[in-house]
């Protein structure tokens, strides 16, 4: 039960991606049908959205009582998102080409110092090489959408703001709620669950960075997270932050119990 709760708490994005991909495929078909029905602009109708605030199929078109709907600029942004192929790289299970857009506003606000979330997203749409998210190819594989008007970019940004994790997602685990960790047991886990296959206990690079001094570096990795919080997040949801220069390959160890997480954390803090 505890591991299931942890998995839900740290992977809300994964739960939102599958319906997003299906919805965008359906929206794409709708756009194609409208274009082939005589060329007249289709009448704007609300787009039902379900868990994760992303569109889902709803035959009666009414939406569910607890689901918001997309209209106006957000709906125009969805149509543009589909027409410009954004879903090809930013939704689904394979995110090797581009990061997920789930909760992108929160992430965007902290990407580039001095830029608001809206300014960063506008820059990313028109100048994708201006900032490369760590772990993704440089130069960017994303095409340049500088041909879009300011109004069209605004519509896309409005739509992106609707893609958030499910409202009923459990709160993220608090490091303060973890039991006391046993560093010796954490050392054993390091050797038995696969950590040693990618992370040395020195400065040597295997696949991931070496663990020597990790407790000292961790506090500066991600704004707003303490060293302990960053380490725990990296164990349970490693795709949230990729150390620059390293591949996006670490699996999520979300099946670990709170005690095992605490033991690993205690051990890693001793590697100096």
- The DSSP result for 53-66, as a single string, is GEE---TTSS--TT
**What is the structure's pLDDT at 207?**
82
Say yes or no to pLDDT of 250 above 90. Answer: no
Packing angle, helices 2-10 and 227-236, rounded to 10: 100
**What is the structure's pLDDT at 172?**
55
Percent of the chain exceeding pLDDT 70 equals 68
By C-alpha distance, which of 19, 23, 152 is closest to 77? 152
- pLDDT tens digits, one per residue of 126-147: 999 999 888 888 888 899 899 9
Say yes or no to pLDDT of 264 above 90. Answer: yes
CATH of 175-268, one of 1.10.760.10, 3.30.110.30, 3.40.50.920, 3.30.70.120: 1.10.760.10
**What is the structure's pLDDT at 49?**
36
Domains 2-160 and 175-268 share a fold: yes
Percent of the chain exceeding pLDDT 90 equals 29
Assigned fold of 2-160: Cytochrome Bc1 Complex; Chain D, domain 2 (1.10.760)
Half-sphere CA count of 179, side-chain side, radius 13 A: 9
Q: Would you list the domain boundaries of the chain?
A: 2-160, 175-268
- pLDDT tens digits, one per residue of 58-109: 333 333 233 344 568 888 888 888 788 887 787 655 567 788 887 788 888 8
- pLDDT tens digits, one per residue of 162-187: 776 644 443 356 788 899 999 999 99
Partnered with residue 49 across adjacent β-strands are 55
Global confidence as pTM: 0.43
- pLDDT tens digits, one per residue of 33-65: 444 444 444 444 444 333 333 333 333 333 323
Q: How far apart (Å, rounded) are the C-alpha atoms in residues 41 and 43?
A: 6
By C-alpha distance, which of 109, 92, 137, 232 is closest to 176? 232
Q: Are 264 and 199 in contact (CB under 8 A)?
A: no
């Amino acid at each position: 039960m505890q591991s299931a709760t942890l998995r839900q708490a740290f992977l809300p994005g994964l739960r939102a991606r599958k319906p997003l991909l299906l919805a965008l495929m359906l929206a794409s078909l709708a756009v194609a049908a409208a274009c082939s029905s005589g060329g007249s602009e289709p009448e704007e109708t609300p787009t039902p959205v379900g868990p994760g605030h992303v569109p889902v199929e709803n035959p009666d078109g009414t939406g569910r009582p607890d689901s918001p709907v997309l209209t106006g600029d957000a709906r125009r942004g969805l149509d543009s998102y589909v027409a410009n192929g954004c879903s090809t790289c930013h939704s689904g299970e394979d995110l090797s080409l581009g990061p997920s857009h789930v909760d992108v506003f929160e992430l965007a606000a902290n990407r580039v110092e001095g830029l608001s979330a809206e300014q960063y997203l506008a820059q990313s749409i028109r100048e994708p090489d201006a900032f490369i998210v760590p772990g993704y190819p440089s130069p960017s594989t994303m095409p340049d959408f500088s041909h879009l008007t300011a109004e069209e970019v605004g519509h896309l940004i409005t739509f992106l703001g609707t893609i958030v994790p499910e409202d009923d997602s459990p709160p993220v685990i608090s490091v303060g709620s973890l039991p006391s960790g046993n560093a010796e047991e954490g050392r054993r886990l390091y050797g038995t669950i696969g950590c040693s296959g990618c992370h040395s206990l020195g400065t040597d690079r295997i696949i991931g960075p070496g663990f020597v001094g990790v407790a000292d570096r961790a506090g500066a990795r991600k704004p707003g997270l303490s060293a302990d919080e960053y380490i725990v997040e990296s164990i349970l949801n490693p795709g949230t932050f990729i150390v620059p220069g390293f591949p996006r390959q670490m699996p999520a160890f979300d099946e670990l119990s709170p005690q095992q997480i605490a033991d690993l954390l205690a051990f890693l803090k001793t590697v100096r």
